[in-house]
Amino acid sequence: MSTLPHCAYFEAGRCRSCALLETPYPTQLSDKERRCRELLPQVPEALWLPSVRGGTADFRNKAKLVVGGRARAVTLGILGRDGTGIDLRDCVIQEPGIRDAIPHLVAFIESTGLEPYDVPRRRGELKFVHATLAPSGELMLRFVTRSEQGLHVLRKALPALLERVPRAVVVSVNLLPEHKAVLEGEREELLLGDSLEMGLGEVSLHLRPQSFFQTNTAVARALYAQAAEWVAAERPDSIWDLYCGVGGFALHCAAAVRAAPPRVLGVEISEAAVESARRSAAEAGIAAEFVAADATRYAVGAPTADAPHTVIVNPPRRGIGAELSEWIERAPARRVIYSSCNPESLAIDLAAMPSWGVRSARVFDMFPHTRHLEVMVLLERRV
């Protein structure tokens, strides 16, 4: 689908999150490609693979909705500049399963009598609702509250929620007592289930409430498939997946590791994500190990003899940083796959690794209608 969607919120100036919505989609994509080529001039034109399109509507598998309005007259969406809620229940970029659930979530919240949190006045109870949709149509719902009161009310009202949203298989409450611009607090209380199964073909990934997963399922599949193709071309005897999250890259690439058993290691600082990765590996019968640790500290502290043939990194926007770049520069690894959501930090990190040359690159349009993107490069040591 290349026709731009009609969005009444954008046209009315109520929401401009999709800043590029009026830009033709082919132009959005070509602009992102040009930006990456300018930031990575060391990559010859012939090494850029065709970009993976992210779609123009119905592509976002996760909604992070601000609860606004007042008790029994709730909005779910974003906050306006004055701090009042703007209802976005018909947002066209959300997957239909999320759009369909939002009116039922509004009705449920109104039935509880919980007061939406008023940001300017710093009072109220319910702050956010996070909804994640699996390819199966099942949902994970997270309610972010200010206090134990909200937790108590929601726990008691769980049967009513499931009547309204029967496809919810994971429900949790996150407590965020502080008044600060974050989407969640540290404490998470499970009310139903423990993980959402994201079926991606041969491998299913399990998401716990505080786990990270890409927001565009179709593009995530393509991202993992590309990494697996690059790994299969080399058939390494070992892989490290640093910043592994719930194990997406490690689990999709494990079949191409030629050692028996395969030496596949994922490192992720989130213990919840590591637990999810271990469960996915066990269910798929994949001999992979996952460790809860800081990726840089783990790599830098490991004996040189333990270094893998192939390193996969998928860091946050800040990139891998100088210390991990230095480790990769001197480590005996032979290949690196770097998946980046920020080409600026990727360019900085690559400049710190002069011994490595780009052998292939690809843009993945994970975030249509915005300037954000995912770009992945395959690196090999220069001869």
- pLDDT tens for each residue of 204-250: 999 999 888 999 999 999 999 999 999 999 999 999 999 999 999 99
Q: Which residue ranges make up each domain of the chain?
A: 25-55+216-381, 62-199
63 pLDDT more than 60: yes
Name the band, by pLDDT with cuts 50, 70 and 90, for residue 7: very high
Task: Measure the CA–CA gap between 242 and 1, rounded to whole angstroms.
Answer: 34
Give the per-residue pLDDT at 203: 92
38 pLDDT more than 50: yes
pLDDT average, residue stretch 313-331: 97
| CATH 3.40.50.150 assigned to 25-55+216-381 | yes
pLDDT average, residue stretch 8-27: 93
Task: Measure the CA–CA gap between 67 and 325, rounded to whole angstroms.
Answer: 41
Name the band, by pLDDT with cuts 50, 70 and 90, for residue 1: very low
286 pLDDT more than 90: yes
244 is catalytic: no
pLDDT average, residue stretch 69-75: 92
pLDDT average, residue stretch 15-24: 94
119 pLDDT more than 60: yes
pLDDT average, residue stretch 185-204: 93
Query: Which is catalytic among the residues 91, 244, 253, 341?
Result: 341
Of the listed ranges 179-183, 283-287, 351-355, the one predicted with least confidence: 179-183
Close Cβ partners of 101 (under 8 Å, ≥ 6 residues apart) = 131, 139, 165, 167
Give the per-residue pLDDT at 81: 85
For 260-270, how does the pLDDT look when each residue is reduced to its tens digit (9 = 90+)?
A: 776 999 999 99
Give the per-residue pLDDT at 201: 84
Give the per-residue pLDDT at 202: 82
Name the band, by pLDDT with cuts 50, 70 and 90, for residue 3: confident
CATH topology of domain 62-199: OB fold (Dihydrolipoamide Acetyltransferase, E2P) (2.40.50)
